[in-house]
Amino acid sequence: MSRGDVSAVTRWEEPSRAPGRPGRWRIPGAGRIWAGAWLLVVAWSVSTWVAEDGPLVNARGWPMVVDFFAAALRPELSADFLARIAEATLTTLSYAVLGTLLAVAVGLVAGVLTSETWWAARSGSRSRRALRRTGWLFTRLGLALPRGIHEAVWALLLLSVLGRDPLVGVLAIAIPFGAITAKVYAEIIDESARGPFESLRATGAGRGTALLYAVFPLALPDLASYAFYRFECAVRSAVILGMVGAGGIGFELVLSFSGARHSEVWTQVLVLVLLGAVVDRWGAGLRGSGGRMRVRGSMLLAAGLAVAALVHLGADLARVFSARTARLLTGLVDELWPPALPDGGWARLAEDSVETLQMSLVAATLGAGGAGPPPGRGAGGGGGPARRAAGVAARWLLLFTRSVPPPVWALPALFLFLPGPLPGALALAAYNFGILGRLCAEVVENLDRRAHDHLVASGAPALSAFAYGIVPPAGGRFLSYGLYRWEVAMRETVVVGVVGAGGLGRLLEDQRVAFDYGGMAGTVLTLIVLSALVDLVSTAVRRTLR
């Protein structure tokens, strides 16, 4: 992970590099080979959707699309509706606050126990060192399962155990986010200065004592900043959880969409955008000057928000440990195991798996293709009034697209296109455009821009200056982020599939409605395998192009 002025979003969205010596896997012409193969697969994916039997476009959907976007000019602002949305927003924020705090607590403990620093042996035989290495590997693998299952899937499973309890939203965020946070915290601990830690260990201090006094003081700003970034993600996840039955603003969005009350939808979208702007600005303050003071203030604020969230949700923590919950959980595990094939067998599973991969590829390609120009225009504060205005507009566009979760984008897409992979891919592309655009803008802002500025001063067109002054030094990072978002899009196909956009997500929803828990387990395992496959391909691309 990079240090210095690079923002928390940039640092912790960055995929870890594969081990090996620089250039070890580099293949001449690999970039052209990978690009050609990628474009062929994308073209094949789109062609299969177009060639399918039956119409692709909803012929009666265009008037609905026009009506939907026209409603943005007249959002619902009645007092009763605003009061209801305020209550729903508090519920969503409560899920995010409590889920994040629980995830951070889990991440701190598991992050220490999965760090190489914890398992490192000062001395001893080769067998002792091998034993410690094996222990580290098994603790890392233990976090792979909860990290690989999307929070929406956790919510669907927890609903069958806890019912419509507010703890469903909290735990559905905390379980996967805790595993993700543990992985990142382990990397932060391992990257911290090892000298003080080794010095304390040499004096006979235990591992825990050495970590507490030598590592945590140095790592605290990074740990706190990442916790806040995880909170940003938790807010969006809480909206998605509301759409699958956990309540909050996501639930209100589904009600408004189903009733074609588009003015209400736009009011809620504006609330999400404003909420995203507040969170984004506060996170920027943590990374700027005076960040340490804001870290302390944020910790105090988090404690107060946690108390308020518990009061607002009225969660009964004892219910999690009740005999009834244990009995229902045991019954759920029995129904989930062994995993079963869906109706249609291997053919159905293979067909939906291919469709899911196609959705993720097309979404990542469209999102990455659209994310390049806005960062180039919006990064930095220089230039004349027109350039600054374009930069502000680009930033608000990126904020808007990433503040609205993928299932919300999928709903208007389903007006124009019939249910299937295309509207799901478009929804994921819109969301990834916002995320990738923000990440790429961060990269551009932290570059040495003298070459770019010289080209602009010499009269080069803006696009040429971007292509020759920005892309060469930043292209590697752009590629890494694009591949990383492809991996994320693979997992997020679940949430657009739930609203009818196709793939394994749609299959999972059909199995949930039919209470086919064995089939759900088989589908979730397939998603984990596909995610691992995407991760392997991404790693291979980065290795061969490094």
Q: Are residues 362 and 308 in the same domain?
A: no
Residue 11 lies in a domain: yes
In whole angstroms, what separates CA 344 from the centre of its chain?
A: 32
Residue 532 lies in a domain: yes
Residue 255 lies in a domain: yes
The pLDDT-based confidence of 15 (bands split at 50, 70, 90) is: very low
**Strand-pair partners of 12:** none
Residue 72 lies in a domain: no
Range of the domain at 413: 1-54+342-546
The pLDDT-based confidence of 77 (bands split at 50, 70, 90) is: very high
Per-residue pLDDT averaged across 440-459, rounded?
Answer: 76
Q: What is the largest CA-CA distance in the chain?
A: 76
The pLDDT-based confidence of 173 (bands split at 50, 70, 90) is: very high
Percentage of the chain modeled with pLDDT above 70? 85
Tell me: pLDDT of 105 over 60.
yes
* Ranges 86-100, 129-143, 387-401: which has the least confidence: 129-143
Q: Are residues 363 and 415 in the same domain?
A: yes
Number of domains in the chain: 2
Q: Are residues 438 and 304 in the same domain?
A: no
C-alpha distance from residue 121 to each of 166, 204, 206, 211, 212 (Å): 44, 13, 12, 14, 18
The pLDDT-based confidence of 378 (bands split at 50, 70, 90) is: very low
The pLDDT-based confidence of 278 (bands split at 50, 70, 90) is: confident
Q: Are residues 487 and 520 in the same domain?
A: yes
Per-residue pLDDT averaged across 427-434, rounded?
Answer: 88
Residue 73 lies in a domain: no
C-alpha distance from residue 253 to each of 248, 268, 412, 502 (Å): 9, 7, 12, 20
Tell me: pLDDT of 191 over 80.
no
Asked, as a colleague might, if the bond just before 176 is cis with ω within 30 of 0, I would say no
Residue entry with tokens 């519920």:
91
C-alpha distance from residue 246 to each of 154, 215, 241 (Å): 11, 39, 5
Q: Are residues 387 and 303 in the same domain?
A: no
In angstroms, the first-to-last Cα distance of the chain is: 17
Q: Are residues 244 and 304 in the same domain?
A: yes
Residue 84, pLDDT score: 93
For the chain, what is the mean pLDDT? 79
- Please indicate whether residue 268 or residue 290 has the higher confidence score (pLDDT): 268
Residue 71 lies in a domain: no
Q: Are residues 539 and 513 in the same domain?
A: yes
Per-residue pLDDT averaged across 409-434, rounded?
Answer: 85
Q: Contact, 138 vs 287, CB < 8 A?
A: no
Q: Are residues 44 and 111 in the same domain?
A: no
371 vs 25: CA distance, rounded Å: 28
Q: Are residues 330 and 347 in the same domain?
A: no
The pLDDT-based confidence of 284 (bands split at 50, 70, 90) is: low
Q: Are residues 253 and 377 in the same domain?
A: no
Would you say the pTM of this structure is higher than 0.85?
Answer: no
Q: Are residues 471 and 373 in the same domain?
A: yes
CATH number at residue 162: 1.10.3720.10
Q: Are residues 437 and 537 in the same domain?
A: yes
Tokens of 20: 């090996």
488-523 residue pLDDT tens: 888 888 888 766 677 888 888 888 888 888 988 999
The pLDDT-based confidence of 16 (bands split at 50, 70, 90) is: very low
Per-residue pLDDT averaged across 143-148, rounded?
Answer: 79
The backbone torsions φ and ψ at residue 57, rounded to the nearest 5 degrees and listed phi first, read -100, 140
Residue 68 lies in a domain: no
Residue 197, pLDDT score: 79
Residue finishing a domain among 305, 336, 367: 336
